[in-house]
Amino acid sequence: MHELERGDSGLRSFVTVQGALSMFSIWKYGSEEQKTRWLPRMAKGEALGCFGLTEPDFGSNPQAMRTRARKKGNQYVLNGSKMWITNGTLADIAVVWAQTEAGIRGFLVERGTPGFTARDIKQKYSLRCSITSELYFEDCAVPGENLLPGVKGLGSALSCLDQARFGISWGAVGAASACYVCARDYALKRIQFGGKPIASHQLVQY
């Protein structure tokens, strides 16, 4: 993660969402069938995932999420939206968190499921090479076996975020390293004040 973000923050973000959020959710809270189906393909990069927790009005307060999943027979019907979702339009599988009668639960929603659409967010000021999307669910019916059986409330979703923080921290160090090297190289090449590199002029406090 240090080296990836030293190259580009968007690349590190892509990898974090794939491994520490999407794959971790399935590994930690999924059924054996879900793990067998998705994890080997995701580890090889043959399938991509995204993590749908943040909503337009509830970025830092996921407990107030409005996305709902209503049980109907052996299916769950999802309605709502998610915002700022990395890899959203690239993903083959979305890990989506929603309110249910039993509290907050996680669901695996496959690309192409009727009622599920994703749209890229354009004109960002930063992380522009990272695909960031909004997810929409309109009477989106997912099979009951797509419920993550090990999830127990919001704490399960937040544990996935905790899992990602370590790599994100190393990524931030990588970005800082890149900034330092860029500034140092410039200071060695920029000639000023008597034909010397500006790096040769010490800052003096008076």
The answer to whether 96 touches 109, Cβ cutoff 8 Å, is yes
pLDDT at 170: 96
**76 plus 144 within the same structural domain:** yes
Q: What is the mean pLDDT of residues 155-176?
A: 94
Q: How far apart are CA 199 and CA 139, in angstroms?
A: 62
| Residue 15 identity (one-letter amino acid) | V
**pLDDT on residue 193:** 85
Q: Are residues 125 and 175 in the same domain?
A: no
CA distances to 43, 144, 206 from 37, rounded to whole Å, are 11, 16, 67
CA dist., res. 197 & res. 75, Å (int): 68
Q: Is residue 205 part of a domain?
A: no
How far is the C-alpha of 122 from the C-alpha of 107, rounded, in Å? 27
C-alpha separations of 176 from 72, 125, 203 in Å: 50, 19, 22
Q: Same domain, yes or no, for 101 and 175? A: no
Mean pLDDT of all residues in 192-199: 88
Residue 38 lies in a domain: yes
The residue range of the domain holding 72 is 2-165
Q: Are residues 22 and 86 in the same domain?
A: yes
pLDDT, greater one: 128 or 143:
143
For residue 206, being part of any structural domain is answered with: no
Give the pLDDT band (50/70/90) at residue 194. Answer: confident
Segment 189-201 shows an average pLDDT of 88
144 domain-assigned: yes
List, for residues 16-66, the tens digit of each pLDDT value: 999 999 999 999 999 999 999 999 999 999 999 999 999 998 776 788 899
20 domain residue, yes or no: yes
